[in-house]
Structures are given as structure tokens and as C-alpha cells.
Amino acid sequence: MRFIRTWIVIILTAALVISGMSIETSAKDKDDSNAAFAEGRIIVMYDSSAVSETEKEKDKKELKLKTEKILKDKRIELLTFDKSRKVEDVINKLREKKGVISVEKDYIMEAYVDSQEGLFVPNDPFFDPYQWNMKGSDNGGINAWNVWPASIGQGITVAVIDTGVAYEDYTQKNW
């Protein structure tokens, strides 16, 4: 029974991801100085054709930055620095360096939870009129509303496999 429940939660969570449920970010406007972000962490995107690894390392050493994680073919890096330093100063100095495409604070993102109910609530204005697949089974949906109070997938890892192929009905010649 636990196995079946786990798979139901996985399938529903995958359906939520696929259906385009929006995640509300506390950094709605990146220029908002009040937005929550991780102190002492920034995300940098490099133009790998404009700067060598040696130059990047030299710049990081000069600015006293440490690499925590490297993503996307070494183009995007999560860098850390002493939390006593102002993040804006670090960002401004790094933006001046050769090969830097963009630098951002590491903003904290959170899913929206209704404060009165304590339930996950989609903040998508098109949820109610268009995402019928989440509604009751009487209209072909998966009844997600009844499952969300039990679990929103915490502790569950979901893999979304997308072939990139979309089904199109070309029998109606409308083009």
C-alpha cells in the first residue's frame, strides 16, 4: 500500500510540474533590495569563448571568491565569499571582469503556501479556468486538490522525461 501511495504522490507531483504550476519567487524584481537571497553567494555566467579558465581563477582569487558549484559546461558558477562583504560590491567588481555575461545574487525561491489553510495553492491566475487536468475526475482531471493536503511531494524526487515531441492533429487543414 505504501508503494502505491508513493507512486501516486510521484505521479501527481510530476503532473504538477508538467502542468506549469508556477513557483513564486521572493525576488519578483531582481532590483528589489528587500528580496531574500543567500548571504555570501552569487551566481555568475561566463562567456567561455571570451575568457580562459586561468583568467577566471585569477579574477576569483583577486576578489577572494571560492567556487562552490559549476554548472552548464563550466559557463555558470555558484561562487561564495565572506558574508561580511557587501554582495553589491562583489557583484559590481565581478561585472567589470572580462568574459562575465551576468552576475546575480543567489535568490531564495519558495513555493506558495496558503497561510490560513496551510495548503499548497497554485498562484497561477490561469489555474482555475484552464488547468482542468488538476480538477476533479468528473471532468477528466486527476483530483489533485484532494491530494495536496496530504503531500506536496516533500522528500520525493521527480524525474521529468520529455521527448520534445508534441502531438499535432494535422487532419484539419487550418493553416
C-alpha cell at 70: 559549476
> Can you give the pLDDT at residue 133?
78
* pLDDT exceeds cutoff 90 at 149: no
Helix boundaries (H) for the chain: 2-18, 53-62, 87-95, 127-130, 144-147
Angstrom distance (rounded) from CA 114 to CA 52: 47
The mean pLDDT value for 11-18 works out to: 58
Angstrom distance (rounded) from CA 45 to CA 72: 9
Whole-prediction pTM: 0.49
Select the more confidently predicted residue: 69 or 123: 69
The mean pLDDT value for 59-69 works out to: 93
pLDDT band per the 50, 70, 90 thresholds, residue 118: low
Angstrom distance (rounded) from CA 135 to CA 105: 37
Strand, coil or helix: 132:
helix
> Which tens digits make up the pLDDT trace of 96-112?
999 999 999 998 866 55
> Can you give the pLDDT at residue 160?
77
Q: Which superfamily does 37-107 belong to?
A: Peptidase S8 propeptide/proteinase inhibitor I9 (3.30.70.80)
Angstrom distance (rounded) from CA 123 to CA 24: 7
Element (H, E) at 122: none
Mean pLDDT across the chain: 75
- Stretch among 14-18, 89-93, 96-100, 143-147 having the lowest mean pLDDT: 14-18
